[in-house]
Amino acid sequence: RKTALNALYGLMQSADPIRVLVTGAAGQIAYSLLYSIAKGDVFGKDQPIILVLLDIPPMLPVLDGVVMELQDCALPLLREVIPTDKVEVGFKDLDAAILVGSMPRKEGMERKDLLKANVAIFKTQGAALEKYAKKTVRVLVVGNPANTNCLIASKSAPSIPKENFSCLTRLDHNRARSQVAMRCGVPADAVKNVIIWGNHSSTQYPDVHHAMVNVHGKEVEAYSAVKDDSWLKGDFISTVQLRGAAVIKARKLSSAMSAAKAICDHMRDWWFGTLDGEFMSMGVYAGGNSYGIPEDLIYSFPVHIKNKSWNIHDGLPVNDFSRAKMDATAAELVEERDTALSFLSQ
Amino acid sequence: MCITNPACCTVFGTITDRTMRVSYTNIWYYCLWLKDFRLHFPRATSFAAHAYKRLTGHLVTTLISRNRGDLLLLEQWEDSPSYHTKMSAEPVRVLVTGAAGQIAYSLLFGIAKGDVFGKDQPITLILLDITPMLPVLDGVVMELQDCALPLLREVIPTDKEEVAFKDLDAAILVGSMPRREGMERKDLLKANVAIFKSQGAALEKYAKKTVKVLVVGNPANTNCLIAAKSAPSIPKENFSCLTRLDHNRARSQVAMRCGVPATQVKNVIIWGNHSSTQYPDVHHCKVNMAGSDLACFDAVKDDDWLKGAFISTVQQRGAAVIAARKLSSAMSAAKAICDHMRDIWSGTPQGEFVSMGVYSSSNSYGVAEDLIYSFPVHIKDKQWKIVDGLAINDFSRGKMDATAAELVEERDTAVTFLSA
């Protein structure tokens, strides 16, 4: 029996490696992220990985240090690590791309300050995906402003399906879950089906009208479990919206650890699917959505995922309170998009 | 061969007399694939269904029929607590010092996720740092909350020893003066004696006597000895220092040389001090190549490298990473800390030994007593035992003695600071 198991193992370990790119690879978020990817927490404990690390030329010595450390971690799934500053190396034959690299947010900096510089970055990277990556590549955009950067990248890679692009709102989703969980005195995984609508910014709308909390073995609606509607419609929302700034203020640095965790959650769920009855938040292409959100945006919706494809969870009732908030964040995204498109054509 | 949909990834079942469990995530989902599994374990279907029914009720039928035909993923899991005690287990109290710093930032997530103390072991995490770092520590606490990790019962940030060391099951003492490019290890000695004397006394006063203490902050061996001496009623065997990073570095250097994954290199040894006098010894190391275990010297076929550049590469790797990153090796150090602590908690696999800095008294290798010295150890039931009887040639003897001499000198200097 033991030999049969070993034989099974042997077959599994010889699976073809996948090529995974992380940009901004010499930076803070990547430093928290790379280890989890290389360990197998994202793509599976039997999926060997070729990890491609892209950053700008001045960061190449630091990147060498990161490569040394990954070697020193002695991780069996890591077949190869390729540090580079060249897009033709970075984007070649990719199965997955996690675009972390962009201008980092410092205390006091507005998100719109980042927009112009980032349009240039993501236009180039979208074009590189178009030219070098597999057409099946799954792209997760993290660098802020994530939704608009994702849209720009997607528009610059016209022959890659728009559905293959997404942006990260899972961090906000996890923050919303944990706020509700702490309020109810339960572990964070006892809270399901929170939704983050819209932009990964201070206009995001954390919505718990459809969330369920497991209290002493019973599934209870979040509003009934929390028993504080004014908190759920007030401070809860602003806490989640402004959490990023609160962490920067305390740490003097962006939230690398929790962002890395959210990136792993997002990518793992995209790869392996969501459970029946559960949905997660992802920034995805809004074309054809049934919630009255303007098309041609990357907007965060509740999604199911199966066979590496997401589907927006349709049919959730939307009350007036939610409607207004969903529209407000959509309006901000429309404005960002229009500004970005003007930079794009320059 | 591809594995489809192992997403819902905790499978629970019993095969004859062994308990098997597969886990990917901290969240216990149920999913069962039946094709090859059924081939090897014909009775699986009925008992697995029974196991699920006992635990999850209506989920059983749906999952089995949905996933029929896929490949089963199996992983042996030793010493597993039974499922029904999963979330009701008493949390372990784990302290990390230097908690607002770089290494802790890479480490805390791995601990809170369950990689160290087990995927069913809830944790109370205590974070100690100096008063000026408390605002940064608050940011770290926020991030840990935002990770939404089910095992993390409580996070307690503090600058007070009486809070931090209370009732501890495990203490990871990372906090000390960080090493900057060009700084010698002896520069750190004096300041660190004061820190570890105080922390040893706090362990003595507040922690459980069963506490397992891992000292990381450099100079790790001597800091560990000072802490142990300052906590006389806690067994010296409960104290260890980290040489697992050097051990992992040695493994990976040999692995890269042989073109195999690092996990196919076993039983390297780090002897002595976690410093540039450490001796990475591969005379007893085995490399699994093309299905068979080769002695390392036969696999590498380059004695000069193994007795020369290999040793100096491992010895100086820390400095090389600092030169490149301009910061200490947080990621790989955190990984080594997790490996070291996890092996203390769950034991080492049969036939494999790991390197740990432990109390040297009564060792059979002629190493001076009353030191914390890195040896090859087995671990079982949270107790380590030095692997005795390994043949030591003249080359190794020379190097083992040199690093012991450095440790004796460090100890003697430190002890003078201790009484000053």
In the predicted structure, residue B37 carries a pLDDT above the cut 80: no
Tell me which of B242, B331, B340 to substitute to probe the interface with A (most A C-beta atoms closer than 10 Å).
B331
DSSP notation for A78-123: EEEEEEES-HHHHTTT-SEEEE--SPPP-TT--HHHHHHHHHHHHH
Q: Provide mean pLDDT across the span B59-67.
A: 27
pLDDT at A14: 59
In the predicted structure, residue B13 carries a pLDDT above the cut 90: no
Distances in Å between the Cα of B141 and the Cα atoms of A32, A157, A246, B169, B211 are 16, 39, 12, 20, 24
In the predicted structure, residue B312 carries a pLDDT above the cut 70: yes
pLDDT class for B282, splitting at 50, 70, 90? very high
- For residue A283, what is the enclosing H or E element? strand A280-285
In this structure, what token pair is assigned to residue A166? 């997404």
Strand B354-359 to strand B269-271: parallel, antiparallel, or no bridges (unpaired)? Answer: unpaired
In the predicted structure, residue A197 carries a pLDDT above the cut 60: yes
pLDDT at B290: 87
pLDDT class for A338, splitting at 50, 70, 90? very high
Mean pLDDT computed over every residue of chain A: 92
Phi, psi values for residue A222, rounded to 5° = -60, -45
B265 and B285 Cβ atoms separated by less than 8 Å:
yes
Q: Is A55 annotated as a binding residue?
A: yes
Mean pLDDT computed over every residue of chain B: 81
What is d(CA A76, CA B263) in angstroms, rounded to the nearest whole number? 6
Contact A256 B105 (CB under 8 A): yes
CA A33, A104, A258, B171 dihedral sign is positive
In the predicted structure, residue B48 carries a pLDDT above the cut 90: no
Contacts of A322 (CB under 8 A, 6+ apart): A197, A205, A207, A209
Phi, psi values for residue B328, rounded to 5° = -65, 165
pLDDT at B178: 67
In the predicted structure, residue B97 carries a pLDDT above the cut 70: yes
Greater pLDDT, A106 or A21: A21
What is d(CA A314, CA B287) in angstroms, rounded to the nearest whole number? 54
pLDDT class for B374, splitting at 50, 70, 90? very high
pLDDT at A249: 93
Catalytic status, residue B50: no
In the predicted structure, residue B336 carries a pLDDT above the cut 90: yes
Q: Provide mean pLDDT across the span B134-154.
A: 94
pLDDT at B188: 73
Q: Is A175 annotated as a binding residue?
A: yes
Q: Which residues of A belong to the active site?
A: 200
pLDDT at B71: 32
pLDDT class for B183, splitting at 50, 70, 90? confident
In the predicted structure, residue B4 carries a pLDDT above the cut 60: no
What is d(CA B272, CA A331) in angstroms, rounded to the nearest whole number? 64
In the predicted structure, residue A221 carries a pLDDT above the cut 90: yes
Contacting A residues, span 14-33, partner chain B, CB-CB under 8 Å: 15, 31-32
Contact A15 B8 (CB under 8 A): no
In the predicted structure, residue A172 carries a pLDDT above the cut 50: yes
pLDDT class for B221, splitting at 50, 70, 90? very high
pLDDT at B335: 96
In the predicted structure, residue A253 carries a pLDDT above the cut 90: no
Contact A76 B3 (CB under 8 A): no
* Edge-to-edge strand list for the sheet holding B286-289: B265-266, B286-289, B292-295
Q: What is the dihedral of CA B126, B132, B133, B135, to 10 degrees?
A: 100
Q: Provide mean pLDDT across the span B39-50.
A: 33
Least confident interval from A226-240, B68-82, B105-119, B330-344: B68-82
ipTM: 0.89
Q: Which residues of A touch B148 (CB under 8 A)?
A: 174-175, 177-178, 181, 188-189, 261
Q: Is the omega angle on the peptide bond into residue A83 within 30 degrees of 0, that is, cis?
A: no
Distance from CA of A343 to the nearest CA of B (A): 34
Eight-state DSSP code of residue B130: -
Eight-state DSSP code of residue B82: P
- DSSP-derived 3-state class of residue A220: strand
What is d(CA A142, CA A114) in angstroms, rounded to the nearest whole number? 13
Q: Provide mean pLDDT across the span B165-189.
A: 83
What does the pLDDT look like over B253-280, one tens digit per residue? 999 999 998 889 999 999 999 998 999 9
A178 and A220 Cβ atoms separated by less than 8 Å:
no
Q: State percent of chain B over pLDDT 70.
A: 77
What is d(CA A268, CA A280) in angstroms, rounded to the nearest whole number? 12
pLDDT class for B10, splitting at 50, 70, 90? very low
Distances in Å between the Cα of A4 and the Cα atoms of A7, A24, B44 are 5, 43, 15
In the predicted structure, residue A89 carries a pLDDT above the cut 90: yes
A46 and A12 Cβ atoms separated by less than 8 Å:
yes
- DSSP-derived 3-state class of residue A190: helix
pLDDT class for A82, splitting at 50, 70, 90? very high
